[in-house]
Amino acid sequence: WFCENKDNNGTLSNKVGKSSNVESDSTQIQRDVSVPQKVHTKTPKSGKEGLLELLSSIKVDITTKRKPRHSTRPNSEKPSTKPKPVHLESISKMYRNAVVDASTQRCVETLDPKVVSAASAAAATLPNSNQALNELLKQLKENELVTEGQKRGNVNNLRYVDTAVMFSAPPTLWDIDFVQELATCVDHMPRNGLQEMIDWTKDGRMWRYPIDNEAGLEEEANVPFHEHIFLDKHLEKGFPRQGPVRHFMELVVVGLSKNPFLTVQQKKDHIDWFRDYFQQKKDVLKEADVFLQ
């Protein structure tokens, strides 16, 4: 493996000129990162991925000093904490991290300092601390953007005001008041019955055209059908395996599986209620010798 790396190194030393800036970026990022003991690639899928892989293998060669030690154990699969085998995905991630690190540096400034320190503390526990830190910060930044976008969207539930009025921070009472004042200035009365129906649809009072039978059931659409039907797995804990109680519960499960009106959570709640009930009545059942655990 290692000779392969060396060969790659040799052939790519000519091409290094082009990618030298990427390398310098990566060298500045101090990684006490993993050596690819085994670069688990057979053939690169596309030209770009091959380049990624080769570039990342260069990086690792330069940053590691463990060359001679690992050359003696090319096929060792001993999982050691520091030199972990690096797979293609993490390789490409490292490449991605190398490129986007400038932007994550900027991200660090806009995030709350407490968040950043928490993230660095969390990342320090992981082996690839710097890589993990960069990923965490990137994720936090994305989350922040998402929540800010949601906050902006939730303010303007007034139909006729132009929502191009953007708020830089969460909207204050003044902003809400301004938006309401604009809404009162505009004449938003409907001019015919169809415009009135449009207003009602935006309010949520009317069905949407074209009529969709499953309007309002979007969450249910994400629940797969087998969670509704195969409820036996909820009978595994807390109920006896044989006897009248089990028989009864199987009938309950059969009934629930045929019920199209309850959500999965409601069905689970039914079964949980029965579990609690039979647990409470354990003494009575034991007297009647039916409760077999």
CA–CA distance, 252 with 274 (Å, rounded to integer): 10
The stretch near another protein (CB under 8 A) out of 30-38, 79-87, 140-148, 215-223 is: 215-223
The stretch near another protein (CB under 8 A) out of 41-49, 155-163, 232-240, 248-256 is: 155-163
Q: Which of 90, 66, 49 is nearest to 2 (CA)?
A: 66
- Is 221 one of the binding residues for another protein (CB under 8 A)? no
- Is 29 one of the binding residues for another protein (CB under 8 A)? no
- Residue 282 amino acid letter: K
Which residue from 122, 124, 145, 186 is in contact with another protein, where contact means CB under 8 A? 186
The stretch near another protein (CB under 8 A) out of 45-53, 55-63, 95-103, 172-180 is: 172-180
- Is 196 one of the binding residues for another protein (CB under 8 A)? yes
- Residue whose structure tokens are 């009938």: 251
Taking the least distance from each CB to another protein, the nearer of 110 and 163 is 163
- Is 151 one of the binding residues for another protein (CB under 8 A)? no
- Residue 91 amino acid letter: I
- Is 185 one of the binding residues for another protein (CB under 8 A)? yes
Angle of helix 264-280 relative to helix 244-257, nearest 10 degrees, comes to 170
The stretch near another protein (CB under 8 A) out of 72-80, 169-177, 223-231, 273-281 is: 169-177
- Residue whose structure tokens are 């932007």: 103
CA–CA distance, 236 with 285 (Å, rounded to integer): 19
- Is 189 one of the binding residues for another protein (CB under 8 A)? yes
Q: Are 239 and 249 in contact (CB under 8 A)?
A: yes
- Output the DSSP codes for 168-206: SSS--HHHHHHHHHHHHHS----SSHHHHHHHHHHHT-S
- Is 153 one of the binding residues for another protein (CB under 8 A)? no
The stretch near another protein (CB under 8 A) out of 85-93, 205-213, 241-249, 273-281 is: 205-213
Taking the least distance from each CB to another protein, the nearer of 3 and 215 is 215
Query: Which pair of structure tokens corresponds to residue 173?
Result: 């009472």
CA–CA distance, 198 with 280 (Å, rounded to integer): 55
CA distances from 10 to 5, 7, 59 (A): 8, 5, 13
Which residue from 14, 28, 75, 209 is in contact with another protein, where contact means CB under 8 A? 209
- 3-state SS class at 127: coil
CA–CA distance, 6 with 8 (Å, rounded to integer): 5
CB of 196 to another protein, least distance (A): 7
- Is 215 one of the binding residues for another protein (CB under 8 A)? yes
- Is 188 one of the binding residues for another protein (CB under 8 A)? yes
- Is 126 one of the binding residues for another protein (CB under 8 A)? no
**Which residues would be at the binding site for another protein (CB under 8 A)?**
160-162, 164-165, 172-174, 177, 181-182, 184-198, 201-205, 208-210, 215-217
